[in-house]
Chain A
Amino acid sequence: GESVGLHLPTLSVQEGDNSIINCAYSNSASDYFIWYKQESGKGPQFIIDIRSNMDKRQGQRVTVLLNKTVKHLSLQIAATQPGDSAVYFCAENITGRRALTFGSGTRLQVQP
């Protein structure tokens, strides 16, 4: 069945280090992926997205990598800052499905 899952529920990093958050998906019909950030007391906010015909996409301090061979998605955050502390979700758009499917989330904790 369809599933979007994360390898690590909590990731703790030092301020200034790079962070990598991973996500596995199982549906080969997924054609679009999104990373969301959810800060405490707020709804998820869009960070970056990638279509299935791409391997990599970069934003400001963030990079998303897509490996379709092993159905793996990752979010890389460069020079992690305290403001990056949040829960991060990956989501996939499965072709033919009318709504996004979300993973279980990873909590990123940035240590000063």
Chain B
Amino acid sequence: DVKVTQSSRYLVKRTGEKVFLECVQDMDHENMFWYRQDPGLGLRLIYFSYDVKMKEKGDIPEGYSVSREKKERFSLILESASTNQTSMYLCASSLSGSNYGYTFGSGTRLTVV
């Protein structure tokens, strides 16, 4: 009964590559979020979306973009991957108007070499 699915558990990409991280939720949630998780820094918000085709920058959007063409799918794009983007990426979703009850995916561990 997986509810938030991140397409890849592990990814290894080369510096300069364009990278797509995919997230799909089946709970009909309006809000979707991308966080990155680094040791000692916790979860930091990259981008979020509160509706289809809507997006807002989080705290660390530089070097990233997002796409939300369908309600259930929220993609994180690294335009030109760099080694400092090596991290664990977590996708989450929640109901509209609510920061309650985030459901997280299992994460994608991205290594940029």
Using a CB–CB cutoff of 8 Å, the interface residues on chain A facing chain B are 4, 9, 32, 34, 36, 41-46, 49, 89, 91, 93, 97-105
Contact = CB atoms under 8 A, between A and B. Distances in A.
Interface stretch (B11-19, B35-43, B69-77): B35-43
B42 A103 contact: yes
Contacts of A4: 42
A41 B48 CA distance: 23
A91 B100 CA distance: 10
Contacts of B50: 98
The 3 A-B residue pairs whose C-beta atoms are closest, nearest first, are A43-B104, A102-B43, A104-B42
Chain B interface helix/strand/loop/mixed: strand
Nearest to A5: B42
A99 B33 contact: yes
A42 B106 contact: yes
B100 to A, nearest CB: 7
Given A43-B106, A45-B104, A105 B42 contact: yes
B49 to A, nearest CB: 10
A93 B101 CA distance: 11
Interface of B: 4, 31, 33, 35, 40-45, 48, 50, 56, 58, 90, 92, 99-102, 104-107
Nearest to B6: A43
A100 B102 contact: yes
Q: Could you say which of B45, B99, B106 has the most chain A C-beta atoms within 10 Å of its C-beta?
A: B99
Nearest to B35: A102
Contacts of B45: 99, 101
A93 B43 contact: no
A104 B102 CA distance: 17
B43 A46 contact: no
Contact of A43 (B40, B99, B107): B107
26 contacts: A32-B99, A34-B102, A42-B106, A42-B107, A43-B4, A43-B90, A43-B104, A43-B106, A44-B43, A44-B104, A45-B104, A46-B102, A49-B100, A89-B43, A97-B99, A98-B48, A98-B50, A98-B56, A98-B99, A99-B33, A99-B48, A99-B58, A100-B99, A101-B45, A102-B44, A105-B42
